[in-house]
């Protein structure tokens, strides 16, 4: 099977406009023992490396640009480089997968690519989080995650810089919970605790 309820918890986060600060706030609230976290932020490739380094200096988690084929580990955050889609694959353990395939929803990296891979390979052990951003990237992928049994969260209108992507996800039934930004990190922690109990 490509997915299993017994798989370890993995967190998937997508964001666009306003996302750099939103991602930072979520990550700052998570402990160094958190499950692996894969992140897509719409951002030109000249900035993703410095963004990862800045987060790494601020967070208790280790934050880095994702590399193709590298295994994912607890306590680590893998940021999609600005030139490639990021997905997750399962071959024994879980690994990052990078691709320079055509843009999806006009974006590379695309949140939908990451979330669809999460639905396929991680299923009910995934947590999907869609943060502030313009457009609809990530909405259909988050729906696929929910349909696969994942816990799905969207940022609420009032705390978004642009309430686009989360609104689109909510509109198609992809979201289990809509939360203010300040509550998303604690809710992720709660889900991790429930899953491991």
Catalytic positions are: 16, 42, 137
- SS3 at position 184: helix
Q: In the sheet where 10-15 sits, what is the strand order?
A: 62-65, 76-79, 37-41, 10-15, 126-130, 151-155, 177-179
Which single residue is written with the structure tokens 């729906």? 143
- Contact, 16 vs 132, CB < 8 A? yes
Q: Which residues pair with 91 in a beta bridge?
A: 93
- Rg of the chain in Å (alpha carbons): 15
- Contact, 150 vs 122, CB < 8 A? yes
Q: Which residues contact 183 (CB under 8 A, 6 or more apart)?
A: none
According to DSSP H, which parts of 38-172 are helical?
Answer: 45-58, 111-121, 139-147, 165-171
Residue 11 is given by DSSP the state E
């Amino acid at each position: 099977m490509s997915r299993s309820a017994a798989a370890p918890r993995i967190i998937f986060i997508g964001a666009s406009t306003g996302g750099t600060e939103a991602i930072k706030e979520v990550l700052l609230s998570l402990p160094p023992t958190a499950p692996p976290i894969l992140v897509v932020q719409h951002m030109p490739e000249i900035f993703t490396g410095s963004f990862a380094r800045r987060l790494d200096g601020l967070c208790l988690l280790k934050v880095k640009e994702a590399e193709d084929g590298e295994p994912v580990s607890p306590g680590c955050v893998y940021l999609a480089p600005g030139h490639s889609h990021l997905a997750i694959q399962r071959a024994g353990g879980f690994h990052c997968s990078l691709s320079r395939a055509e843009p999806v929803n006009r974006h590379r990296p695309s949140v939908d690519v990451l979330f669809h891979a999460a639905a396929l390979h991680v299923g009910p052990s995934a947590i999907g989080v869609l943060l502030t951003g313009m457009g609809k990237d990530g909405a259909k992928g988050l729906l696929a995650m929910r349909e696969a049994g994942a816990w799905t969260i969207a940022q609420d209108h009032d705390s978004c810089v642009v309430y686009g992507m989360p609104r689109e996800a909510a509109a198609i039934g992809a979201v289990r919970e809509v939360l203010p930004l300040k509550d998303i990190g604690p809710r992720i922690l709660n889900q991790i605790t429930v899953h491991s109990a």
